Structures are given as structure tokens and as C-alpha cells.
Amino acid sequence: MLKNVSLTVEGRGMTAIIGPSGTGKSTLIRCINRLVDPTSGEILFLGQDIAKLNGRELRRIRRRIGMVFQEYNLVERLSVIENVLTGRLGYVAVWRAWLRRFDPKDVDRAFQLLDAVGLGALANQRADQLSGGQRQRVGIARALMQDPDLILADEPTSSLDPKTSVEIMELISKRAGERDIPVIVNIHNVALAKRYADRIVGMSKGEVVFDGPPRELEDSHLLEIYGGEGWLE
Amino acid sequence: MSASYPATRRVAFPPNWPARIAVALLAIYVIYAAQTLDFTWARFITGIDHGGRFLSRMFPPNVAPDKLQLLYAGMTESLQIAVLSTVFGVALAIPLGLAAARNLSPAPLAWFCRGLIALLRTFHPIIVAILFVKAIGFGALAGVLALIVASMSFLSKLLAEAVEEMSMNQVEAVRATGASFLSVIVMGVVPQVMPRFVGFCAYQLDSNLRNSALVGLVGGGGIGATLFTAFQRFDYDFVLTIVLAIIAIVMVGELLSGFMRRLFQ
Amino acid sequence: MSVAAQAAPLRQWQRFSLAERIMRSVFYLIALIAIVWSLRSIEIIPEFLYDAPQQTADLFTRMWPIDWAWYPKVVHPALMETLHTATLGTILAVAMATPVALMVASNVTQSLIVQSIGRFILVATRSIHAMVWALFFVAVFGPGALAGTLAIAVHSIGFTGKFLSEAIEEAKPGPIEALKAAGAPPLAVLIKGVWPQVKPAFLALAMFRWDINVRESAVLGLVGGGGLGMALDTALSNLYWDQAGLVLCVIFAVVIGAEIATSWVRSRII
């Protein structure tokens, strides 16, 4: 599916990957935190090749990478605050998770993050009682809870209405920016990509066909990426 | 001027021939089976007559002190058997059930565990009890072990099915945070399957309370032996006492299960 | 000049409210007491435990080779008897459970008394294991398949009736109301309004119960209920372990067969 993709992402800022469905955007993102395994090649993260790591070392890397999912992927039966605290699981012992006895500083930080995403009042609600936009905010808080060096977002707005999509992209952009965390986002809404990304990577048929700042993204590039005719305004 | 009538009258509820045939076959089978099993009307009538006299001998239930003593001893042992077999059955069913789930466990292990569960489930607790009695002798321990096997097989099968039906998306997200396997189970799997599992455990407790009265029939301890002896000695009024006690315990067990369910679901 | 800032107190979170925590602690305490009490009272005779592996090995060597010759004369008729007991028992159970289920279903019965009687019948039949019912029926009707079938039938009423009543209660009120509004008599409402909705659950339940009843029927003979259990009992009393081994194999086979049959039917019809 992915052919000879070579990308370097550095420093703060949002990189948006755009392209038609099935072209491998999601696969690319999921390779980074090894939810999908690459068949060959290297993934250098913080100077270390993580393509072949397993077990505890892989988990140590994963906890440095936060992820926001298209379907939010919250644990529905748990409360909002518990879902945010899930972000600390890579750092705490199992018994703390089982008894829900997290370090008070972690709990406080979780509350602060909930405030930062605008959900301070909903900490004790069960996750399945929230709207889509609210759930995604919790997802963002969970990713931030990991204090990550990188945030991956796999189509974070595809299940949301247009207004909420903008709010979510705004939130990701701001919060990650405040903390100097680079974001790699996989998105099919080109307008949102142009609005929030510092760099756009266009993929088509498993290969990178465009790589540059949003202002350089022309209609010709879009046609090359998405193919077809007559769909551009 | 003549109005035209439809050629055929439409029937409101047309006869459902497959269903009618099925019912007819069923009726024929019932008659055939009854004959093979030697159910004659005469036997039935004598039986009813006999049963009537039987019931009159059962009332009123026997509550003589020595009988109550026996009842108490037997029931406490049955209770203990039920408690231990449920507790250990649950404890053992959890790892077995998780290992048998095809979405959590590597394929060979999952298939092996499923096979093991199927094997354990095939034998009736009574048969397992007979085998344990032969292996470790008469007494409550054989009964406990037999019911642990029964509980384990039932609970682990249901747990494996519940785990296979859960959403892997939620689990994937927890995994992506770098959590260890156990942490993923605790925060990703348990919240999803816990309510159903608690229901299964409550049912198993109820089932073990009933079965604990049984294993004594073959030497596994508890009230079963007392009951069997009472039947053989024609102490039918004592039989009634024991039966009423069993019903009472089961009803109390149901209350307890309800309480447990409200707490943990 | 620096002023030490007062740190705001850390916000806290509890998973359970105080009331919930108290109740959970009470539950755990009761459970712990029950477990410790049971463990202490159970008699464990170490000699028997040490002996166990040897006893088990002994058992298996005695069972092998299996006495297949015994099959045609004794075991096969017993197998048929068991199957008939299970099937007939299930049919009878369903027939007897239906009125009780109707008594208990809250959307069919209004009277609380009738409901309570129905519930009691269900609990009583369920609490008494089929084998205990078999003891009773053997005492009344004499040993044999008649006692066994009735035992299976009566015991299954509890389970079947409960599930049936739940299925009835889950039936959508719409069609029932429509029929009542059209003036249909109660029986017609049941047959045409409730039954079509309950039918799939009914069939699934009947199959499930048949599968369980095959297992139960196989062992009822141990107390005189006929079928394979009686063959097993005879073999065990005479200490003919190879024959006992044969019966166990047949029981194993018939239970597996029943499960395969029910899975097949379920995938085809439901």
C-alpha cells in the first residue's frame, strides 16, 4: 500500500496529510506508533529506530506519542476523567489503574486539561453520554495527558459536523502549539488542512506527491492528488 | 349491469402448511416416544393415585430436633461447597476466558483453551463428582472440585464470548498510550465486559447453590446425601423439609445476587 | 522581594461515593468471612490427596480397554431412552411452561396474586434439581423413563417459563393494542399478536433447553430415571469399569452430537 514513503517532521507545528481514501494516509500515521507494522524501512523517532521494537521498549515509545482517533475511541463505560487518566497508563503501575488510585498530581493535571479543552464541568459524566464533539475533546485531553513528544491525529474531524470540526482543529492546533508539540494529522477536508496546517503532505496511490506549505498548494496539485475532474470549485 | 367478482376469495389467514406439518410431526413423535418409553395410561393413573398418597405423607414437614440437626449440618456444608466453588470458579475462569478470546489471545492458545472449555463443559457435574470421589475420596472436597470445574467451564465460555463481542477500538486507544497488557485489560477490557460478567457470576452462584445439594448424592458432601437417605428410608416428611430449605436458600441466594448486581453493574 | 505563592489545593477525584464505598466494603467483608469460614470447615484429608494421582491412574487403567461388546444389548437402547426422555421432556416442559409464563408476564396478566403464584411455581421448579425431582417421581411412578421424563419436564418449567415470560414482556405493545382495539378476543390477541413476536425466541429457547436436557437425562438414571444413567449405575455398582468407560464415552458423544445438532439448526433457522 505505501510505497517508498520518506518523510521528516521536525519541531512544533502541524503537518497535514491529505489524499483520497485508501491511499495510505491512515496506514502512514498508524505506522508511526506501530498500530500497523511496516514491512520494511525505518521509523526514526527521537533519534531511535522504532520500526522493529517490541514489548516494553515499544510501550515506552508509545507513551511518548499521543493519538486522537476518528471514532474518538473512548472507553464508553468509564467517566470522562477516567478516560483522560488513561493517558497516564504508560507511566503508572497496574494496581493504580485497578484501584483508580492515581497520583494526586496526575489527577489535578487531568482536571486542568479538561478545563483546557472546555469540559471542566463534565469530569464525572460517563463517556457515552457525551456528544461527538465533546468526546473528541476528551480524546485530545487524553493525548495531552501523556505529555507527548508527538501527537498523531487520524481523521479527527471526519465524524463531526462542520462547526465542531473547526473547533476541534482549533483546539488541537492551539493546545499542541502552546506546549510545542508537533502534530501530524491525517485529514480529508482540504480547507481545514489549509487553514490550520503549517505543512501539507499530499499523497496519492501510496506515494507522496506534494510536500510544502499550504500557500503553495494549487488546484493542479489537488487534481494530481485526488485525480478526477470537475470537482474543484 | 353486472359487477365482476374476483375469481377466488382471498382468505384472511392462509393456512401455514410448513408449520402445520411440523406440528403434526411433533404430535406423531410424542405418541411414538411415549410408546417406546412404555408410558401407558394405566401406569400413569396408578402413579397419580400413588402420588396422592405420597403427597399426604409429605405433609406436614418434619421438624423434629434431630432431623433439624441433620438438616443444619447438611445445609451448611452445601453452602460452603457453593461459596468455595463459585469463588474459585470465578478466579480460574478469568484467565481461562481471557486466554480463549480470539481477539486478545494468540490463535493457537485461543483454540486450545476453547477446546479445553468445551471438554470441561461436556460432563455433567454429577459425573465429574463421581470421578473426583474416586480420585480423592468421599467428602465435600470432591464436591467442591467438581463444581469448580463446572463453574469454570461455564463462566470462561461466556467471558470469552463477551470479550470477543467487545469493541476493539476502545482497547486500541488504550494500547496506543503505551499501557502494559494488564493495564489495557484493566482500563480497556474490564469496563466493557464487567456488567455482563457480574451477571454471569450471579447466575453461577445460584446454579452452584442448587448443584451443591446434588453432589452429595454421589458422595460429594452436603445435603444431597441426607436427602437421598431420607428418600430411601421413606422419610417423606423430612424430604419435604429439606426441599423447602433448599428453595429458601436459593431464594436468599437470588436476593444476594441482585444486591451484587446492583453494586457492580 | 519575592512572595511565596500559595499553591491551590490539588483537585481530587473519587471513583465511588462514600455510600457506594461502604456498601462495597460490606460486600467484600461478607464475602471474605464466607470464604474463610468455608475453607476452615472443609475437611481435607492429606492422605487422600497424595493418593489422588495414583487413584486416577488406577481408574483409567481399569476403564481401558472399553468394553464395546456391551453396547448393542444394553447401551444402545439406553441411549435411545435418554434421547426420548430429553425430547419428550422438553416438549412437555414447553407445553406446561407456556401457561405459567403467561401468568407471570406483566403485559398479559394484571393480577398480582396470579403473578406471584406463577413466580413461585417458576422458582420452586427451578430450585429443585432435575435429579431430585427424579427421586420424587421414581418413588411415585417407579424407576424408569417415565419418572425421568417427568423430572426433566417439571424441572425445565422454571427456566423455560422465566425466559418465555421475558420474551412475552419484550413483545411490542403496538400490534397487541391494535388487535384489542379491533375487538379481538383474548385468545386471538395471544395467538396473532403475541405469538408471532415471541416465536424466534421461543424456538431458540426450546433448542437451548433440549441441549441442556440431553445432558441432564444422561445422568438421571443414576437415581433411577432410566436411560444411560441407569446403565452407568449398573456398571458402577458392579464395578465393571470398562463398561462404565463405555457409557461415559457414549454420554460424551451424545452431548457433543446434541451441541452440533443445535448449532446447525440455529444457523439454518434462526
pLDDT single digits (tens) B131-163: 888 888 888 899 999 999 999 999 999 999 899
Residue C2 pLDDT class (50, 70, 90 cuts) = very low
For residue C4, the model assigns a pLDDT of 47
Higher-pLDDT residue of A149 and C10 is: A149
For residue A67, the model assigns a pLDDT of 95
Q: Does residue B51 lie within any of the structural domains?
A: no
The pLDDT of residue C254 is above 70: yes
Q: Does residue B101 lie within any of the structural domains?
A: yes
Q: Any idea where the domains of chain A sit in the sequence?
A: 1-64+151-160+172-227, 71-147
- For residue A26, give the C-alpha cell: 491512515
Q: What is the pLDDT of residues B95-120, one digit of tens each?
A: 999 999 999 999 999 999 998 998 89
- For residue B40, give the C-alpha cell: 401407558
Complex-level ipTM: 0.89
**Residues C209/C156, Cβ–Cβ less than 8 Å:** yes
C148, with CB counted inside 10 A (0-12, 13-18, 19+), is buried
Residue A59 pLDDT class (50, 70, 90 cuts) = very high
For residue B75, the model assigns a pLDDT of 92
Q: Does residue B77 lie within any of the structural domains?
A: yes
Q: Do C52 and B227 touch (CB under 8 A)?
A: no
The pLDDT of residue B195 is above 90: no
Q: Both ends of chain C: CA-CA distance in Å?
A: 81
Helices (H), chain B: 17-36, 41-58, 65-99, 107-122, 125-136, 140-164, 168-176, 181-184, 190-212, 223-232, 236-264
**Partner C contacted by B140 (CB < 8 A):** yes
Q: What is the pLDDT of residues C176-211, one digit of tens each?
A: 888 888 888 888 887 877 888 888 778 888 888 898
Nearest-Cα distance to chain B for C127, in Å, is 6
Domains of chain C: 69-269 (1.10.3720.10)
pTM of the predicted protein model: 0.83
Distance CA A10, CA A12 (A): 7
In chain C, pLDDT over 70 holds for what percent of residues?
96
Q: What is the pLDDT of residues B25-74, one digit of tens each?
A: 888 888 888 877 777 777 778 878 888 888 888 888 778 888 889 899 99
Over residues C75-87, the mean pLDDT reads: 88
The CATH number of whichever domain residue B128 belongs to comes to 1.10.3720.10
The pLDDT of residue A167 is above 80: yes
Distance CA A22, CA C171 (A): 44
Q: How far is CA A115 from the centre of its chain?
A: 20
Distance CA A23, CA A225 (A): 10
Q: What is the pLDDT of residues A40-51, one digit of tens each?
A: 888 888 888 888
Q: Do A111 and C11 touch (CB under 8 A)?
A: yes
**Residues B168/B186, Cβ–Cβ less than 8 Å:** no
For residue C236, the model assigns a pLDDT of 84
Instruction: Say how many domains are in chain B.
Output: 1
Q: Do C15 and A104 touch (CB under 8 A)?
A: no
Residue A152 pLDDT class (50, 70, 90 cuts) = very high
Q: Does residue B120 lie within any of the structural domains?
A: yes
Q: How far is CA B93 from the centre of its chain?
A: 16
Q: Can you spell out the DSSP letters for C74-107?
A: IIHHHHHHHHHHHHHHHHHHHHHHHHHHHHH-TT
Segment holding C49, helix H or strand E:
helix C46-63
Residue B18 pLDDT class (50, 70, 90 cuts) = confident
- Contact list in A for residue C25 (CB cut-off 8 A) is none
Residue B7 pLDDT class (50, 70, 90 cuts) = low
Over residues B220-226, the mean pLDDT reads: 88
**Partner A contacted by C17 (CB < 8 A):** no
| AA letter at C30 | I
Per residue, the 3-state secondary structure of C200-239, as one string, reads: HHHHHHHHHHHHHHHHHHHHHHHHCCCCHHHHHHHHHHCC
Per-chain mean pLDDT for chain B: 87
- State the helix-helix crossing angle for C76-104 and C241-269, rounded to 10 degrees: 50
For residue B94, the model assigns a pLDDT of 95
3-class SS of residue A199: strand
Segment holding A204, helix H or strand E:
strand A199-204
| AA letter at B213 | A
Q: Does residue B70 lie within any of the structural domains?
A: yes
Q: Do C81 and B37 touch (CB under 8 A)?
A: yes
- Mutation target for A interface from B165, B168, B171, B183: give the one with most A CBs within 10 A: B183
Count CB atoms within 10 A of the CB of residue B122.
18
Interface of C with B in 151-190 (CB under 8 A): none
CB within 8 A of B198, min separation 6: which ones? B260, B261, B264, B265
Q: Can you identify the CATH homologous superfamily of domain A1-64+151-160+172-227?
A: P-loop containing nucleotide triphosphate hydrolases (3.40.50.300)
Residue A133 pLDDT class (50, 70, 90 cuts) = very high
Interface of A with C in 45-104 (CB under 8 A): 81-82, 100, 104
CA dihedral of A119, A123, A124, A129, whole degrees rounded to 10 = 30
**Residues C151/C130, Cβ–Cβ less than 8 Å:** yes
Task: Tell me the residue length of chain B.
Answer: 265
For residue B175, give its domain range.
65-264
Least Cα distance to B142 among B224, B227, B72, B67 occurs for B224
Q: Does residue B170 lie within any of the structural domains?
A: yes
Q: Do B37 and C149 touch (CB under 8 A)?
A: yes
What is the 8-class DSSP label of residue B62?
P
Q: Does residue B209 lie within any of the structural domains?
A: yes
